[in-house]
A and B are shown apart, each in its own frame.
Chain A
Amino acid sequence: MLVTLLLVLLGGGLLCLALDRFRPEAARLVSLLTLVVAALILASLAPLGPASAGPGNAWLAYVQMPWIPRFGISIELGLDGLSFLLLVLTLALGFIAVSASWTEISFRPGLFQANLLWTLAGVVGVFLALDLFLFFVFWEIMLVPMYLLIAVWGHEARAHAAYKFFIFTQVSGLLMLLAILVLAWTARTTGQALSFSYFDLLGQAPTGQLGMAIMLGFFIAFAVKLPAFGVHTWLPDAHTQAPTAGSVLLAGILLKTGAYGLIRFVLPLFPESSLAFAPIALGLGVAGILYGAVLAFAQDDFKRLVAYSSVSHMGFVLLGLYAFNALAQRGAVVQLVAHGISTAALFMMAGALQQRLHTRDMRKMGGLWQQAPRMGACALFFAMASLGLPGLGNFVAEFMVLAGLFAEHPITAALAALGLVTAAIYSLSLIQRAFQGPDNDQAKIDDFGPRELTTMAVMAAALLWLGLYPQPVLDLARIAPPLSLSGLSP
């Protein structure tokens, strides 16, 4: 089933590409259909049964077939609660991205949809791969079509942004490849045959300086994607220049692959080095939260503001993962989902505004509420989510992260909590500058139509659900213990 899921997405992309020549508008439908099929496949793997049994704690599906046996590389895919959760998010935001590109993309829509689906395929692969070499392959697969999405369909400075995105990801990706190779090699000398399997490598990582060096190879790759403070500068450019669907995928899912990598690989494979590294990671998290928030407030570009808010929000993820506290770690996973939805919604808002006003500059907006109250209400809702209003998903995440972190490092948590204030500053400034103030005579805009409103409503409902009843997500948000392959469907 897992292989089928990947093949469906890749094949759907090929079909879109083929249609690009003669029936470009049909490609959107094919894309949508592909996602429906993928969603059905995923649904068939859904963890059903009583939540108390902890379905997230076991492998829902697992497959292994040889690929390059000589080097111990195999096609090894596994689905546990965490992967399932992130796959749901991936496909859901896939629908959102298709919806966002429905009228926005007129240049070669077939090719666009193909790249969209291939990006999704790469992401799905990343969330499923249990062979480290295979993981690296998927890591690269999601990079190339994303690069094209920005470079071909992006805005005015797309070339530079796409280039920067590619270089950052590629350089850090190579560090990870090196780390993977060294890890497999050192593990072999203690064991016997070379293997890239996650399960074989668990507990085999060298300690001391070598272990730290390998861990850093992984960490840097994931920190770039997350992004952590210091290696985040590709993000504002890429998010701002990407077409709406691209921004949705970037912020909503691609950033999550970095966090996923930390949860799945760095922390379990290198427990000692990670613990030793935790103070630095926590420092990067706090710096990201505050720095991102200040810069978000400083921006005039709507999308850039949202992009920097992502830097700020993902700082909480880093804190949650490196607090070494169950509550905080679960909160970090909730943050992945909540941030994915709220940011995707804000990027859609930015895209909708740009489509109508042909600008993202908030100095040219203002007073739009009068003409577009539905847009205003949606923007307000998601700005409130972004500033962590209780009752919405982001609050649950930030509360759990900070509460967990406080139990371990109170001072760090207190510093990070300042992010609650700074988030209010930039979120409310966004609403003020875009929608409030005197009537805007220059801009004549149409309010949201049914398609946009439905998309927004679905995302709003998801955030409310996550904010008021996050328990199903909390139960899923655990990684399964190694090789406890009980309850597998054959």
Chain B
Amino acid sequence: MNALWLVPLLPLISAVILILGSAWLGRRAVAVLGVGSVGLAALLTARVVTAFLGSGEASTQVLWTWMAVGDFSVQVAAWFDGLTAVMMSVITGVGFLIHLYSARFMAEDDSYARYFAYLNLFVAAMLVLVMADNLLLLYLGWEGVGACSYLLVGFWYKDVANGAAARKAFIVTRVGDTAMALGLFLILAELGTLNIQSVLQLAPGHWATGDTMVVLATVLLLGGAVGKSAQLPLHTWLPDAMAGPTPVSALIHAATMVTAGVYLIARTHGLFLLAPTTLEIIAWLGVLTALLAACSALVQTDIKRILAWSTISQIGYMFLALGVGAFGAAIFHLVTHAFFKALLFLAAGAVIYCLHHEHNIFRMGGLRSRMPVTFVSFLLGASALAAIPFTSGFYSKDVILLAAWQHDPLLFVAGLCGAALTAFYSFRLLFVAFFGPAQQEPDRTIGWVMAVPLGLLCVGALAGGALTLPLTDVFPPAIGVVNHTIEYIAITVTLAAVGLAAWRYLRQRPDPASGGLREFWFAGWRVDALYELLWVRPYCWLAKRTQGEPVDHLYNGIVALARANHRTLSALQTGQLRWYATGMVFGLVVLLAVLMRAAL
């Protein structure tokens, strides 16, 4: 076993120690263990990735055979190629910064050890997800991160609403996971293996392009992806998931876990290329999600919910890229998004930390001069999110829009509208929270432990666009001619939207959401209410109706029948001679009648 498997093992061991030793470990020890293990994992990742970049050879690392029955066999094994390298770097790198930030952000929490245990466990599961060489082990990581997400969303369990949000997150994504499991069964039944590389090799020979089975398999995998990545129609859990601590939102619900769906599709792109129908669905789902979520982000007042809707919207762009076959562009946007969205969440966390858990941006204001480090972070993060030229978000979004244009101009137009909305809501958030008159005074400072991650993520959000990801061996080339006109259109639209936001929110502070459309968007297009009506209520109604065990009516009926018979028959047992005599005579008459009839 080389260093590769140590990467997920370190946070896993740390999580186990933290769980078992939570009663004995001091806060300092907890922080050192929790942060240090991920830091070490990040260093190891750097070593492994450097070695890989030197050789460029993809490799497999087998640990043991997980289960084998007859021809069916699954191993606990890792596959390391350029995509794995990118994902592992993001997870351990951004993950380490967020762990470090948490050390101070959560310092006053009673359950310090439990927090780091869950967070470490998440990192381990997420690493398994991206390292798995087969779909079943990937599924283990996939559900593992879901469970950690559940634990962390409901981390402050004393509030019933947090528990509800956590369960919603788990159950809604489980719906997608179940579809994905069926996809796995289908692939296994058709191809006889779950090993991803074998599947990609066998699929083109087994299925013709557009074969019903491959379309079905990819649609089922897509089900898992839309659940985990909070895309239509399973996106409803993510805004509620903001109930968790803010660093959790940064790590799980922005930078890493929610992008797992993008990773899954990119990882199995060979299957999706055989199913153009599914790709078309992905592109349209993505762009639709990007638009709808951007509209919702436009009217939110809770700083974290704005960012949550924005995450849904940005992953929509990644799906758009996947759908038009620009897999590399999707992963590129995944990486830059991890930088700037983690930055935005951590900056938002700093605001929340300093303002007594204030979430409403209309009760902030004027923070520009009071929290300069946070302001600069937020400014850079929002610029990257809005795709202002020369930030990382600009480069990654530009590639996606270009690919969309080459695939279908209609997709490009929709994507462009989304870009305008994105720029508008990003700067609305910035202007409302950081400019204008002060509403509250921050009562504490963030310290270097929180400032250093912000600073490093600022570098990532700014310069991340200059990265060249080692993905050329993984994906087929997608982009044809570079079209500068498209670029200029996008820049113009973005800057116009920023100007509009400045014009509207820098001069005065209009009231937050009111009015029909705004409330409709505020409530996320009322999809929640629809699901409540379609699924939740019928299920609860069914549960209430069946609570008393309807099947037992059958057996109770049998019992009642037996009792009734018993009562009737024992009523005949009166002890009175004349009744018995009457009965005997009656019986004799009947008997005689029967006999005579038979004789005749």
Contacts and interface: CB of A to CB of B under 8 A. Distances in A.
B437 to A, nearest CB: 37
Nearest to B188: A403
Determine the interface band of chain B, counting residues with CB < 8 A from chain A: 35 or more
A428 B171 CA distance: 9
Contact of B65 (A396, A432, A471): A471
B158 A428 contact: no
Contacts of B164: 432
A256 B167 CA distance: 31
B185 A230 contact: no
Interface stretch (A16-24, A179-187, A434-442, A479-487): A434-442
A369 interface: yes
Interface of B is mostly: helix
B600 interface: no
A470 B76 CA distance: 12
A389 B144 contact: yes
Nearest to B184: A403
A421 B552 contact: no
A384 B114 CA distance: 17
A400 B143 contact: no
Contacts of B188: 403, 406-407
Contacts of A418: 178
Given A370-B158, A420-B181, A389 B69 contact: no
B163 A437 contact: yes
A436 B154 contact: yes
B1 to A, nearest CB: 16
Interface in A291-337: 291, 294-295, 297-299, 326-327, 330
B520 to A, nearest CB: 29
A134 interface: no
Contacts of A414: 182
B599 interface: no
A298 B547 CA distance: 5
Contacts of A330: 69
A233 B167 contact: no
A369 B157 contact: yes
B376 interface: no
Contact of B547 (A295, A391, A410, A417): A295
A402 B136 CA distance: 13
Interface string B177-196: 11001101110110000000
A474 B68 contact: yes
A236 interface: yes
B539 interface: yes
Interface string B134-159: 00100110111001001100100111
A416 to B, nearest CB: 10
Contacts of A400: 67, 69
Given A370-B158, A424-B174, A413 B72 contact: no
A438 B543 contact: no
B54 interface: no
Contacts of B64: 469
A278 interface: no
B463 interface: no
A383 to B, nearest CB: 10
Given A438-B160, A474-B68, A233 B140 contact: no
A233 B182 contact: no
Interface string A239-260: 0000000000000000000000
B544 interface: yes
A474 B158 contact: no
A425 interface: yes
Contacts of B67: 396, 400, 470-471, 474
Given A406-B185, A470-B67, A437 B178 contact: no
A436 B181 contact: no
B549 interface: yes
B160 A297 contact: no
A429 B144 contact: no
A377 B181 CA distance: 27
B543 to A, nearest CB: 4
A298 B543 contact: yes
B113 to A, nearest CB: 10
Contact of B139 (A297, A390, A407, A438): A390
Interface in B554-583: 555
A7 interface: no
B147 A389 contact: yes
Contacts of B140: 390-391, 395
A131 to B, nearest CB: 31
B96 interface: no
Contacts of B543: 294-295, 297-298
B539 to A, nearest CB: 7
B186 A421 contact: no
Given A437-B158, A471-B67, A425 B171 contact: yes
A399 B140 CA distance: 11
Contact of A294 (B167, B175, B546, B555): B546
Interface in A380-394: 380, 384, 389-391
Given A232-B551, A406-B182, A469 B69 contact: no
A298 B136 contact: no
B184 A390 contact: no
A428 B163 CA distance: 9
Contacts of B184: 403
Contacts of A327: 69-70, 72
A285 to B, nearest CB: 16
A327 B185 CA distance: 12
Nearest to A232: B551
A292 B19 CA distance: 33
A178 interface: no
A384 B149 CA distance: 13
A458 interface: no
B549 to A, nearest CB: 6
Contact of B178 (A373, A417, A471): A417
Contacts of A29: none
Contacts of B555: 233
B182 A326 contact: no
B189 A407 contact: yes
Contacts of A299: 547
B178 A436 contact: no
Contacts of B549: 233, 236, 295
Given A389-B144, A406-B189, A421-B175, A399 B70 contact: no
Given A298-B546, A298-B547, A327-B69, A390 B178 contact: no
A37 interface: no
A408 to B, nearest CB: 9
Contacts of A428: 150, 166-167, 170-171
Nearest to B137: A390
A469 B66 contact: yes
A417 B158 contact: no
A211 interface: no
A429 B164 CA distance: 9
A420 B144 contact: no
B598 interface: no
Contacts of A439: 158
A145 interface: no
Given A437-B160, A439-B158, A417 B139 contact: no
Contact of A402 (B65, B72, B143, B181): B181
Interface of B: 19, 22, 64-70, 72, 76, 114, 136, 139-140, 142-144, 147, 150-151, 154, 157-160, 163-164, 166-167, 170-171, 174-175, 177-178, 181-182, 184-186, 188-189, 539, 542-544, 546-547, 549, 551-552, 555
- A-B pairs, top 4 by smallest CB distance, nearest first, are A406-B185, A298-B543, A390-B140, A298-B547
Interface of A: 229-230, 232-233, 236, 291, 294-295, 297-299, 326-327, 330, 367, 369-370, 373, 377, 380, 384, 389-391, 395-396, 399-400, 402-403, 406-407, 410, 413-414, 417-418, 420-421, 424-425, 428-429, 432, 435-439, 468-471, 474
8 contacts: A233-B552, A298-B547, A327-B70, A400-B69, A417-B182, A420-B174, A436-B157, A469-B66
